[in-house]
Amino acid sequence: METIRVSIVEDTAEIREGVQFLLNQTEGFVCVSTYGSAEEATIGLPVQKPDVVIMDINLPGISGIECVRKVKPHLPHTQFMMFTIYEDNEQVFEALAAGASGYLLKKTPLPKIAESLRELHEGGSPMSASIARKLVATFQPTPAGQTLTAREREIVDCLAKGLLYKEIADKASISINTVRQHIHNIYEKLHVQNRTEALNKLYGGR
Partner DNA sequence: GGTTTCCCCGAACTTTCGTTCTATTGACGG
Partner DNA sequence: CCGTCAATAGAACGAAAGTTCGGGGAAACC
Contact pick of 70, 106, 151, 171 for DNA (by CB under 7 A): 151
- From residue 5, give the alpha-carbon distance in Å to each of 26, 51, 78, 189, 197: 12, 5, 10, 53, 45
Q: Would you count residue 177 as binding DNA (CB under 7 A)? A: yes
What count of other Cβ atoms lies within 10 Å of the Cβ of residue 111?
10
Return the closest-CA partner of residue 16 out of 115, 108, 83.
83
Instruction: Supply the minimum distance, in Å, between the C-beta of residue 161 and DNA.
Output: 11
Residues that bind DNA (rule: CB under 7 A) add up to a total of 23
Q: Rounded to an integer, what distance in angstroms lies between the CA atom of residue 117 and that of residue 134?
A: 21
Q: Which residue number, 106 or 153, has a Cβ lying nearer to DNA? A: 153
Could you list the residues that contact a second copy (CB under 8 A)? 73, 93, 96-97, 99, 101, 116, 119-120, 122-130, 132-133, 135-136, 139-141, 146, 159-162, 192-197, 199-200, 203, 205-206
Contact pick of 75, 183, 190, 202 for DNA (by CB under 7 A): 183
In a 3-state reduction of DSSP, which class is residue 156? helix
Binding at 112: pick from a second copy, DNA, none (beta carbon under 5-8 Å per type): none
Give me the torsion for CA of 167, 172, 178, 181, rounded to 10°. Answer: -80
Q: Which stretch binds DNA (CB under 7 A): 35-43, 82-90, 104-112, 173-181?
A: 173-181
Task: Check: CB of residue 82 under 8 Å from CB of residue 55.
Answer: yes
Task: Check: CB of residue 194 under 8 Å from CB of residue 187.
Answer: yes
CA 55 to chain centre: 15
Binding at 177: pick from DNA, a second copy, none (beta carbon under 5-8 Å per type): DNA
Q: Which residue number, 33 or 78, has a Cβ lying nearer to a second copy? A: 78
Which long-range contacts link 131-139 to residues 24+ away (Cβ below 8 Å)? Answer: 131/87, 131/92, 131/103, 134/89, 134/92, 134/93, 135/92, 137/204, 138/203, 138/204, 138/206, 139/203, 139/204
Instruction: Supply the minimum distance, in Å, between the C-beta of residue 197 and DNA.
Output: 8
Binding at 124: pick from a second copy, DNA, none (beta carbon under 5-8 Å per type): a second copy
Site for DNA, residues 41 to 60, rule: CB under 7 A: none
Q: Which stretch binds DNA (CB under 7 A): 79-87, 101-109, 132-140, 145-153?
A: 145-153
Interface residues with DNA (CB under 7 A)? 149-152, 164-166, 172, 174-178, 180-184, 187, 193-196
